[in-house]
Amino acid sequence: MSGRSKIADYLDVSLLARLPNLEFRAGFLVDGFLSGMHASPFRGGNVEFKEHRKYHPGDDISDIDWKAYARTDRLHIRIHEDDTNLNAHILLDRSASMNFRGPLATMDKWDYARSIAAALLLFLLRQKDASALTLVGGDADFSGPPATTDLHFRRQLERLAVNADSRECNWNSALAELEKEIRPRSIVILISDFYTEPRSLAEPFDRLRAKACELLLFHIIDPAETDFSGTETLLLQDNETGERLALTPELIRENYREQFREHITALTELVRSRAGDYLMLKTDRVPLDLFGAYLNLRAKRRKRR
Amino acid sequence: MNGFAFPAYLSGFLLLLIPIILHLMKRKPVVPQPYPSFFFLKKTIVRKQRRNNLRKFLILLFRCLAFLCIACAFAYPFVSDIALTPKDATILVLDSSFSTGASRAQMRSALKSALSDISPEHPMLIASAAGRIHWSGDFSADRNALETWALNRMDSCQTSSFATIFAMADSRFQNIQAERKHLVVITDRQALPWEGAARPGKLRNVSDIRIAGAEAGKKTPNIAVVRAELAGNYTHAGQDLLLNTEIHNFNTAPEPVSLTVELEKHIVLTKETVIPAHGSFREQFRLKNHVPIFRPIPGKIRITAKNNAISLDDTRYFAANPVTPPTVFLTPLPGQNPREFIRTALTSRGDTLDSLAPDLHPLTPATARNAIESDILIVENPNAVKNMESILDQQLASGGTAVILWRNSERTRLLLNHFGFHIRKAGLRETHRLELIDFEHPLFKDYLNINAGSWFDILFFNVPQIVPPQNARIIAAFSDRHPALMEVPRGKGKLFVLAVPPDRDHTNWQTFANFLPFWRELILQANRKSTIQTEFTADGSPHPLPGEVASPETEIISDGRTFRLNTPGCYLCGKLLYTINPPAKESDTTPLPENFDPSTLLNPQAAQILNQNTAGKTGILKAAAGKHSPWRLILLTALLCFLAELGLANRTVL
């Protein structure tokens, strides 16, 4: 078990829910993540630090600083200072389906997703990565080009202070709209419950991939959505459409779970086949994994450069 | 007619509201619960939900059915082919005795005529009187069934009596609510069945009574063999047999009769005689026994006469079963001959033992095995063999009789202790007489007819005080109330304990005239072979016999080990021949007086009683009694419904 996971075990998600605003939640998550960094496998956790160190067998020879070798006649590994022009686009699903909180969760998916988005913005700010937040509903609410300023961060946080009340989340149009705003080699982070056909995302993802963008999907799930427990007949109301349906969970549970698994598999394959990453985040757990996922993707991107 | 015995339980149908209300309450939740998206649900929900609706409907159906069945079963539904309150009800009493054989056609016609009125408003019931009483079931409107039932029971070899059947019919009328209740007696008008039945005012629930069948005043001519018994015992092969016979002429004129006696299908005697009107012919015949082997011999006497309408009683069966003398074992005392008196008593020739002298043996270690199978074992000296207790136990267990004579010795004391006797004092130096004798006991029964007084003059000396076990029967006691003669059942046999040995030091009983008969009677009672009843009267009742039954003359009629006494004849079972003869009294064909009025049997207040019964709320239950009711099936259905509900609702516990 990694150090990060251990920290996540000790951090109570109810504590996160009780924090008064998104800034505090973002700080809680980022600080919680950084406190576990000593055990992190991710290189570049302290991305602002630049150094040389002695070469050890097994290190990537492309990282050897040959100039230093010419000067000192010793092999040193060059630890790159990270890019200062990295752009990250955070796309947050604000459809009404995010307004769901199951009996085991202490916060609804929207609150959870907003906390994640805020934490990412803070994390990116601290890494001097430019970030931009787009709220995706029926159409995309683009905030403008990514920036690395505190003022920009504050404005993004203010933008998160809305309700998830959109009747739909149209990823296709949102991504098509954003496509021209997203600079090549950006990191595109999608935070959603992804109640959409994975096949429909293939085309926009391909276009992003053509621009050398990295894709990162954070799938927000309430535990009740995966378990689908209960024996009595329920009258359910669709948060997005308002449609009602009477059903007995125990009758369709197996089928439901099977479809859910297939959906996750399809999403994972969709993203990973495009060199991106997929992470499922359940609302009853503190989402520290997301930073690791981000850093991992960032490191991969840097290596490909 | 269909109905419910307890219709109040039908209110249990209200229980149906429980599952229905539960179903309606749970059918569809009113308050919707928010759910993020029906993205996955819509794909499968329709088909699954349709199945769920069907399942819920089935669960509701089974629950409702279960409650319905339980309420219905408690209400006790019944199906009957008669009206709940018919206008008329009739009980047909069918005289099935063998004397009715001469009037069979008239009786059959009377039966059909009586049954022609049958309908749901006029149900009928038939009782057959012949030996035992049989009922056709409950009141019914099924004419064919009743007619078939009655016709199958018209032939019998038994006698009939209306005394009980009338009482039973009167009682059966109480169970039906009818305005008029008729009793029809279908008979040959023989006077015999009415003996004891024609008590005025006897029938309280009958509106009217009438006799149908044979014509009034017409007498059936009959001559019958009413007795055929062997006199004396058949004790050896080739022995001539003495047959006591009695033939009765029930006709009003003297009748010439020819009689034939057969022994094992060989005619051994024929005779022609004339029997006076209403008179009897009694004679003892000596029959020449041609059977060279000592084995059971079946025999019969048959008569032929002109004016004789009933044939069944023309033949009477008898059987000569070999009787072997009882085997008696005695224990001699060493150095003296104290059993002299007993031996003398047993070997003396008297009236009862002239042809059955007991087979006497001394009990020694060499004869111990045979002693176990003996009829009687008289123990005066317990030291005669080593294991006397064991021999006695086995002999008694197999149905033998043992007599222990008291003698003041430790061995006798131990022997008596083994059988539960306790010796309080060994010998009292006083003189005693008998003070109490149980003359109901078979050993003493005959003395009441002769002279019982001599028993109380016998003197006894040095008698002990013996305390018998709980199950002992004290047959005689001394003047101090201590038992003199005791009987204890043990195994299949009986143990007698005599508190005084018959010698000069203890009693002067040997000098009394009752001494010899006492021992002879004991031997007769103890003889296993002579105590089995082999002669029976045909009455249709089952009689258990020790083995398969075979008839030398007719087919085997045994059903296992039970012998139905319903067909006259000789039947071999094991080593004994059993005889069944028709009841002699049934041969008396004296008719009812022409002026006999059966309505005198009716209670004058019958109409009032009937009205009270009808007005009273007697009985749906009575109406339902005996009717076909599917309540067991309904309860089973309820159980199945519950099981189906459990299965459908996926319950694992109740």
pLDDT in tens, B563-596: 666 778 888 777 778 888 999 888 998 888 888 8
Are A237 and B32 an interchain contact pair (Cβ–Cβ within 8 Å)? yes
In total, the C-beta contacts within 8 angstroms joining chain A to chain B are 89
Residue B652 predicted with pLDDT over 70: no
Task: Note whether residue B292 is domain-resident.
Answer: yes
Is-contact A98 A108, C-beta < 8 A?
yes
Residue B268 predicted with pLDDT over 50: yes
Quick one: closest CA in B to A168, which residue? B37
Is-contact B427 B463, C-beta < 8 A?
yes
Residue B46 predicted with pLDDT over 80: no
- Per-residue pLDDT tens over the stretch B238-252: 889 999 999 999 998
Q: For an interface test with B, which of A99, A110, A201, A248 has the most B Cβ atoms less than 10 Å from its Cβ? A: A248
Task: Note whether residue B654 is domain-resident.
Answer: no
**pLDDT interval class at B94 (50, 70, 90):** very high
Task: Note whether residue B653 is domain-resident.
Answer: no
Lowest mean pLDDT, pick from A53-57, A69-73, B33-37, B315-319: A53-57
The helix or strand, by DSSP H or E, that contains position B210, with its residue range, turns out to be strand B208-213
Is-contact A74 A115, C-beta < 8 A?
no
pLDDT of B9: 84
Q: Which residue has the higher pLDDT, B110 or B612?
A: B110
Q: Which residue has the higher pLDDT, A47 or A254?
A: A254
Taking Cα atoms as reference points, which of B360, B643, B429, B403 lies closest to residue B518? B403
Share of chain A above pLDDT 90, in %: 12
pLDDT of B608: 58
When the pLDDT of each residue in chain B is averaged and rounded to a whole number, the result is 82
When the pLDDT of each residue in chain A is averaged and rounded to a whole number, the result is 78
pLDDT of A1: 39
**pLDDT interval class at B373 (50, 70, 90):** confident
Beta bridge partners of B563: B543
- Per-residue pLDDT tens over the stretch B144-189: 999 999 988 887 888 888 888 998 898 888 878 888 899 999 998 8
pLDDT of A33: 63
Q: How many domains does chain B have?
A: 4
A146, B61, B391 from B17: Cα distances, Å: 68, 12, 77
What is the rounded CA–CA span in Å between residue A275 and residue A282? 23
Is-contact A228 A257, C-beta < 8 A?
yes
| A238 in B contact zone (CB under 8 Å) | yes
pLDDT of A3: 42
Residue B25 predicted with pLDDT over 50: yes
Q: Compute φ and ψ for A243, nearest 5 degrees.
A: -70, 145
Beta bridge partners of B569: B580
Residues B497, B397 share a domain: yes
Residues B227, B203 share a domain: no
CATH classification at residue B491: 3.40.50.880
Residue B218 predicted with pLDDT over 70: yes
Residues B277, B213 share a domain: no
Are B48 and A243 an interchain contact pair (Cβ–Cβ within 8 Å)? no
Residue B554 predicted with pLDDT over 50: no
Share of chain B above pLDDT 70, in %: 85
> What is the edge-to-edge ordering of all strands in the sheet holding B297-304?
B266-275, B255-263, B297-304, B315-320
Residues B335, B241 share a domain: no
pLDDT of B353: 45
Give the number of other CB atoms < 10 A from CB of residue B497.
24
| A259 in B contact zone (CB under 8 Å) | yes
Are A256 and B41 an interchain contact pair (Cβ–Cβ within 8 Å)? yes
**pLDDT interval class at B650 (50, 70, 90):** low
Residues B402, B364 share a domain: yes
pLDDT of B270: 94
pLDDT of B617: 45
| B29 in A contact zone (CB under 8 Å) | yes
ipTM computed for the complex? 0.72
Q: What is the mean pLDDT of residues B184-205?
A: 85
CATH classification at residue B551: 2.60.40.10
Q: What one-character DSSP code corresponds to residue A195?
A: -
Is-contact B234 B322, C-beta < 8 A?
yes
Give the number of other CB atoms < 10 A from CB of residue A57.
4
Taking Cα atoms as reference points, which of A18, A16, A43 lies closest to residue A28? A16
Alpha helix segments (H runs only) across chain A = 3-10, 13-18, 22-35, 66-72, 109-126, 150-159, 171-179, 198-210, 223-227, 249-272, 289-304
Q: What is the mean pLDDT of residues B24-48?
A: 74
Residue A84 predicted with pLDDT over 50: no
On chain A, the residues whose CB falls within 8 A of the CB of B51 are 251
Amino acid type, B88: D
What is the rounded CA–CA span in Å between residue B258 and residue B424? 70
What is the rounded CA–CA span in Å between residue A266 and residue A271? 9
Burial class of residue A235 (count of CB atoms within 10 Å of its CB; 0-12, 13-18, 19+):
middle
Residues B636, B558 share a domain: no
Residues B147, B11 share a domain: no
On chain B, the residues whose CB falls within 8 A of the CB of A252 are 41, 44-45, 48-49
Residues B238, B297 share a domain: yes
On chain A, the residues whose CB falls within 8 A of the CB of B37 are 97, 193, 195, 238-240
Residue B261 predicted with pLDDT over 90: yes
Rounded to 5°, angle at Cα A14 from A12 and A15: 70
Judged by CB atoms within 8 Å, which residues 75-114 of A form the interface with B? 97-100, 109
All domains of chain A, ordered by start, with CATH? 3-39+82-304 (3.40.50.410), 48-81 (no CATH)
Taking Cα atoms as reference points, which of A220, A247, A29, A156 lies closest to residue B47? A247
pLDDT of B542: 66
Task: Note whether residue B61 is domain-resident.
Answer: yes
- Shortest distance between the Cα of B653 and any Cα of chain A, in A, equals 16
Judged by CB atoms within 8 Å, which residues 46-105 of B form the interface with A? 48-49, 51-52
Residues B203, B140 share a domain: yes
Q: Dmax over Cα atoms in chain B, in whole Å?
A: 123
Q: For an interface test with B, which of A221, A228, A233 has the most B Cβ atoms less than 10 Å from its Cβ? A: A233
> What is the edge-to-edge ordering of all strands in the sheet holding B473-478?
B359-362, B327-330, B376-379, B401-405, B493-498, B483-490, B473-478, B434-437
* Highest-confidence segment of A30-39, A81-90, B350-359, B395-404: B395-404
Taking Cα atoms as reference points, which of A250, A37, A166 lies closest to residue B36? A166
- Shortest distance between the Cα of A238 and any Cα of chain B, in A, equals 5
The helix or strand, by DSSP H or E, that contains position B73, with its residue range, turns out to be helix B41-74
On chain A, the residues whose CB falls within 8 A of the CB of B49 are 246-248, 251-252
Residues B270, B304 share a domain: yes
Facing residue for A195 by CB, picked from B26, B36, B49: B36
On chain A, the residues whose CB falls within 8 A of the CB of B40 are 256, 259-260, 263
Residue A201 predicted with pLDDT over 80: yes
For residue B223, the number of C-alpha atoms closer than 13 Å in the C-beta half-sphere is 26
Residue B506 predicted with pLDDT over 80: yes
What is the rounded CA–CA span in Å between residue B358 and residue B348? 10
What is the rounded CA–CA span in Å between residue B356 and residue A215? 126
Facing residue for A252 by CB, picked from B27, B36, B45: B45
Q: CA-CA-CA-CA torsion for A134, A140, A144, A149, nearest 10 degrees?
A: -10
Tokens (6 digits) for A14:
């109810």
**pLDDT interval class at B54 (50, 70, 90):** confident
pLDDT of A103: 84
Tokens (6 digits) for B622:
């009575």
Residues B400, B251 share a domain: no
For residue A56, the number of C-alpha atoms closer than 13 Å in the C-beta half-sphere is 1
pLDDT of B341: 76
Are A245 and B37 an interchain contact pair (Cβ–Cβ within 8 Å)? no
| A239 in B contact zone (CB under 8 Å) | yes
| B34 in A contact zone (CB under 8 Å) | yes
Facing residue for B34 by CB, picked from A233, A237, A263: A237
Are B44 and A245 an interchain contact pair (Cβ–Cβ within 8 Å)? no
- Shortest distance between the Cα of B65 and any Cα of chain A, in A, equals 23
Helix (H, G, I), strand (E, B) or coil at B374: coil
Residue A5 predicted with pLDDT over 60: no
Collect all residues with Cβ–Cβ distance below 8 Å to A174 and sequence separation of at least 6: A91, A134, A136, A139, A140
Is-contact A161 A22, C-beta < 8 A?
yes
Which domain covers residue B518, as residue numbers? 327-530
Are A236 and B32 an interchain contact pair (Cβ–Cβ within 8 Å)? yes
Lowest mean pLDDT, pick from A260-264, B16-20, B77-81, B191-195: B77-81
pLDDT of B613: 52
- Per-residue pLDDT tens over the stretch A60-75: 677 788 888 888 888 8
**pLDDT interval class at B649 (50, 70, 90):** confident
**pLDDT interval class at A49 (50, 70, 90):** very low
Residues B552, B507 share a domain: no
Quick one: closest CA in A to B29, which residue? A235
Quick one: closest CA in A to B42, which residue? A245
| B38 in A contact zone (CB under 8 Å) | yes
Residue B398 predicted with pLDDT over 70: yes
Q: Using alpha carbons only, how large is chain A's radius of gyration in Å?
A: 21
pLDDT of B247: 94
**pLDDT interval class at A190 (50, 70, 90):** very high
